Structure 1
Amino acid sequence: MTPSSEHPTILATLREMNGTVRILVLGNLVINLAAFLNAFLVLFLTDKGFSAWESGVVLTALMIGRISGSAAGGAAADRFGYRRAIIGSMAATAVLTAALVHVPNVWVGALVAGGAGLTAQAYRPAALAWVVELTPKDRQVIVFSVLRLTFNVGTTVGPVGAALLLAYASYDALFYVDAVTSLAFGVIAYVALRSNPEPEGRSGKSDQGERAGYRQVFADRRFMLVVLGLFVTAIAYIQSSAALPLFVTGSGHTEKVYAALLTVNGFMVIAFEVLLSKWTQRLPIGLPMALGMGILGVGHLLYTGPSPVAMLILATVMWTAGEIIAAPSMMAYPGLVAPSALRARYIAAATVPQHVGYAIGPMVGIAAWHAWGSGVWVLTGACGLVAAGLVLAGTGVSRRPAEDEPEDTPALAATQPTDQPT
């Protein structure tokens, strides 16, 4: 598939999407429709008689597994191939998720949950790298916005299915359904992706003849500036679940106002992100990333002013606009700038710090709220602005091909050359 001379439309991108990419997008939707483990693990364990402390230990193990899963998955994908990494990840996730129903004590539960978290995330670098390699350069951002849409739709509709399962079945059924959907995606990957071979060219060695590894990724200093920006952005973004509810109720509003703000955010992301990607796709990839992060920061700073409901909505609309401008490009960027032998590792290297930011962000935001009140938004707003500066420094704003890709391949990078081959 070669890029057209004109800017592609959203409908044309969907219609001409590679078959493998289509399967990966639909698989992402299915998995997120039944991604019950994170939300219901603690309730399930306490219902089984585990204490709150024991449930917290198991949940912590799950989160640690999810953070490390991207790194493990990136290495596995680059070494063994995308298809094998996806199949292995989904099969292991199915087994471990189902096994959680039968754990006898907290330590076995922590071991199984940690493994389930790791394998559940391990497929992502392979899937995203494959999407990059099979999608023309002028359609990358649109396709990744569609991937984000499947995630958001899945996480929005999924809880409805969970409620029905809990009403008519049990927590056990909830986890079994989660396991079955993972297994189903693994089977689909085994059967349907066999006719869509992975692109050639990943020899397992870097351009210098060294065995491919994370050392080469970390040596790319400008890419690591972008990764740092992604980490800082994650700390700011997660405040919608941490500092924002405390701020809203602390300003004299009810929980309904906070729920309304989340509704505004969810509606805007689902309704406008794919549509907007048609235009952000045309920009140098660093520009929408930096612009969106900066707008997110400005939105947080608006919370420092008067706090009537109208102002809260305005601030939420502002930072949500930043999210939908930046997020698809943030997903596309690592795979675009990576050498083919390191593509999944680059994606993992960008993903892990974001997960860490999401993990520590609530602690940072809640501590700042208790210390400074609404001053927390000065801190998180500054995070957005700093992230924008880091991304601009790391990417520049002009397009360039990945150094190991020929000019006419789909996977063309979109920034100036970095210190190391990317």
Structure 2
Amino acid sequence: MTAGAPHPTVLSTLRTMSGPVRVLVLGNLISNLAAFLNAFLVLFLTGQGFSAGESGVVLMALMVGRISGSAVGGSVADRVGYRWVVTGSMAGTAVLTAAIVHVPNVWVGALVACGAGLTANAYRPAAMAWIVAETPKDRHVMVFSLLRLTFNVGSTVGPLGAALLLAYASYDALFYVDAATSLAFGVVAFAALGPGREPAPAAAGKTANQEERPGYGRVLADRRFLLVVLGLFLTALAYIQSSAALPLFVKGSGHSAQVYATLLTINGFMVIACEVLLSKWTQRLPIGVPMVAGMALLGVGHLIYAGPSPVAMLVLATVVWTFGEVVAAPSMMAYPGLVAPPALRARYIGAATTPQQVGYAVGPLIGTAGWHAWGSGVWVLTGGFALAGAVFVAAGAGLRRRRVEPEPAEPALASSADSQ
């Protein structure tokens, strides 16, 4: 975007999205409308006669697969291309999700669940890297806010579909529908994202001074990027408390489950209603500013929870940290691909998302343990995580405006080294 040019609006961004980006965004919506495996795996297994402990082992295997999926997917995508990873991971997810229905014992169940978790997350670095390659830099934040919108809409509407399937069919049907949506996304991606439509970042994997393709070692050598990744990890530890420490805190403060449900509703409404529209302004800022501001607001919201706990204060705290989520999240998604060299886009994205998955996995353990040990003092801990995350991101991404240069004729091959 040249100096003095108008900033992209929501409608102009929608109109100018390339065909592959439209397919990937729509596919994300379809797959998330029926992403039932995480929420209903334990209930299904216990209903099939597995013990609570065995069901927990299978669920843990699913989480391990999801954590490793981003790193594996990022590495493979930069080597073999985005298209094969997107379509292959969706096909694998479909087969393994359907296979969950037929597992004979806990160990087979754990193996299948781990594979399903891995393939379900393996496509994300490839899809996000493809979106980056097809999108002008000044529209990255807006496009990723639209991608997040499809996730949030799917997560909101999906449980309604699950309730209908459980009312009129069975858990088997639930997982078969989940598998079918993954397969549908894979088929559409394979047909619509033909070889001629794919950017070729892997072709840039060799440099003048390097005969082999770069790997994660190059990513880990980027110290400023690693500071941002640490900030993303700490933020994930704090953010996941909305489903870990918060329900315990609300109940422990003498409020009903309806109050907790109201807080979640406020969060969901604000994210869906405000995030895309707010991205019109946040995309104009240096990429570090909305990330730092949003993480700081997340921390402040948690610190408000640590004070008096009438319903009005709970609502205020929820509004504050949700506004932080709305401000930061699209820029957090856009950042890795924006600063990555073309040959390392998927690896940068995988390196950023894997620690977040770890944060989402261990955060509930920290939050619940902190609640039982310190009561409302847990919010000082988790608020501190978010504020520390803001500091690390400020140090890594910086707060100064980057020099915006005109897009090259072939954005898929554009280097983003100037964004560092």
The TM-score normalised by the length of structure 2 is 0.95
Query: What is the CA–CA distance in structure 1 between the aligned matches of 2:341 and 2:298, rounded to whole Å?
Result: 30
Q: Secondary structure at the match of 1:202?
A: helix
User: Given that residues 401 and 407 in structure 1 are in contact (C-alpha distance below 8 angstroms), is that contact kept between their aligned partners in structure 2?
Assistant: no
Q: Report the counterpart of residue 375 of structure 1 in structure 2.
A: 377
CA distance 1:125–1:201, shift in 2 (3 Å)? closer
Alignment of 1:192-341 (within 5 A): 192-194=192-194, 197-203=197-203, 204-205=205-206, 208-209=209-210, 210-341=212-343
- The answer to whether 1:72 aligns with 2:72 is yes
User: Given that residues 399 and 416 in structure 1 are in contact (C-alpha distance below 8 angstroms), is that contact kept between their aligned partners in structure 2?
Assistant: no
User: Given that residues 251 and 257 in structure 2 are in contact (C-alpha distance below 8 angstroms), is that contact kept between their aligned partners in structure 1?
Assistant: yes
Letter of the 1:120 counterpart = A
Letter of the 1:205 counterpart = K
CA distance 1:223–1:207, shift in 2 (3 Å)? farther
Deviations 1:147-183 (A, max 9, x none): 0000000011001111111111111111111111111
Q: Secondary structure at the match of 1:159?
A: helix
Letter of the 1:115 counterpart = G
Q: Secondary structure at the match of 1:35?
A: coil
CA distance 1:250–1:350, shift in 2 (3 Å)? same
Alignment of 1:5-404 (within 5 A): 5-194=5-194, 197-203=197-203, 204-205=205-206, 208-209=209-210, 210-400=212-402
Deviations 1:243-271 (A, max 9, x none): 11111111111111111000100000000
User: Given that residues 152 and 270 in structure 1 are in contact (C-alpha distance below 8 angstroms), is that contact kept between their aligned partners in structure 2?
Assistant: yes
CA distance 1:406–1:136, shift in 2 (3 Å)? closer
Letter of the 1:75 counterpart = S
User: Given that residues 80 and 202 in structure 2 are in contact (C-alpha distance below 8 angstroms), is that contact kept between their aligned partners in structure 1?
Assistant: no
Gaps of 5+ in 2: none
Query: What is the CA–CA distance in structure 1 between the aligned matches of 2:81 and 2:178, rounded to whole Å?
Result: 25
After the TM superposition, which segments of 4 or more aligned residues of structure 1 sit over 4 Å from their partners? 1-4, 399-403, 405-418
- Greater CA drift, 48-57 or 342-351: 48-57
Query: What is the CA–CA distance in structure 2 between the aligned matches of 1:196 and 1:57, rounded to whole Å?
Result: 43
Query: What is the CA–CA distance in structure 1 between the aligned matches of 2:3 and 2:64, rounded to whole Å?
Result: 40
Letter of the 2:116 counterpart = A
CA distance 1:295–1:182, shift in 2 (3 Å)? same
CA displacement at 1:60 relative to structure 2: 0.6
Deviations 1:219-266 (A, max 9, x none): 100000000000000000011111111111111111111110001000
User: Given that residues 342 and 415 in structure 2 are in contact (C-alpha distance below 8 angstroms), is that contact kept between their aligned partners in structure 1?
Assistant: no
Q: Secondary structure at the match of 1:7?
A: coil
Deviations 1:42-89 (A, max 9, x none): 111111111111111111101100000011100111001000111110
CA displacement at 1:199 relative to structure 2: 2.0
CA displacement at 1:416 relative to structure 2: 6.9
Letter of the 1:23 counterpart = V
Query: What is the CA–CA distance in structure 2 between the aligned matches of 1:39 and 1:3, rounded to whole Å?
Result: 47
CA displacement at 1:208 relative to structure 2: 4.0
Query: What is the CA–CA distance in structure 1 between the aligned matches of 2:201 and 2:83, rounded to whole Å?
Result: 15
User: Given that residues 286 and 391 in structure 1 are in contact (C-alpha distance below 8 angstroms), is that contact kept between their aligned partners in structure 2?
Assistant: yes
Query: What is the CA–CA distance in structure 2 between the aligned matches of 1:256 and 1:358, rounded to whole Å?
Result: 24
Query: What is the CA–CA distance in structure 2 between the aligned matches of 1:69 and 1:207, rounded to whole Å?
Result: 31
CA displacement at 1:408 relative to structure 2: 5.9
Query: What is the CA–CA distance in structure 1 between the aligned matches of 2:4 and 2:130, rounded to whole Å?
Result: 21
Q: Secondary structure at the match of 1:305?
A: coil
User: Given that residues 341 and 417 in structure 2 are in contact (C-alpha distance below 8 angstroms), is that contact kept between their aligned partners in structure 1?
Assistant: no
User: Given that residues 232 and 352 in structure 2 are in contact (C-alpha distance below 8 angstroms), is that contact kept between their aligned partners in structure 1?
Assistant: yes
Query: What is the CA–CA distance in structure 2 between the aligned matches of 1:98 and 1:286, rounded to whole Å?
Result: 41
Query: What is the CA–CA distance in structure 2 between the aligned matches of 1:39 and 1:303, rounded to whole Å?
Result: 27
Q: Secondary structure at the match of 1:249?
A: helix
- Greater CA drift, 207-216 or 139-148: 207-216
Query: What is the CA–CA distance in structure 1 between the aligned matches of 2:390 and 2:417, rounded to whole Å?
Result: 15
Letter of the 2:90 counterpart = M
User: Given that residues 341 and 416 in structure 2 are in contact (C-alpha distance below 8 angstroms), is that contact kept between their aligned partners in structure 1?
Assistant: no
CA displacement at 1:5 relative to structure 2: 2.1
CA displacement at 1:196 relative to structure 2: 5.3
Cα-Cα RMSD: 2.1
Query: What is the CA–CA distance in structure 2 between the aligned matches of 1:207 and 1:381, rounded to whole Å?
Result: 46
Letter of the 2:126 counterpart = A
Gaps of 5+ in 1: none
Query: What is the CA–CA distance in structure 1 between the aligned matches of 2:128 and 2:363, rounded to whole Å?
Result: 25
User: Given that residues 292 and 394 in structure 2 are in contact (C-alpha distance below 8 angstroms), is that contact kept between their aligned partners in structure 1?
Assistant: yes
User: Given that residues 398 and 414 in structure 1 are in contact (C-alpha distance below 8 angstroms), is that contact kept between their aligned partners in structure 2?
Assistant: no
Letter of the 2:25 counterpart = V
Q: How many residues align?
A: 417
CA displacement at 1:417 relative to structure 2: 6.1
CA distance 1:64–1:326, shift in 2 (3 Å)? same
User: Given that residues 337 and 415 in structure 1 are in contact (C-alpha distance below 8 angstroms), is that contact kept between their aligned partners in structure 2?
Assistant: yes
The TM-score normalised by the length of structure 1 is 0.95
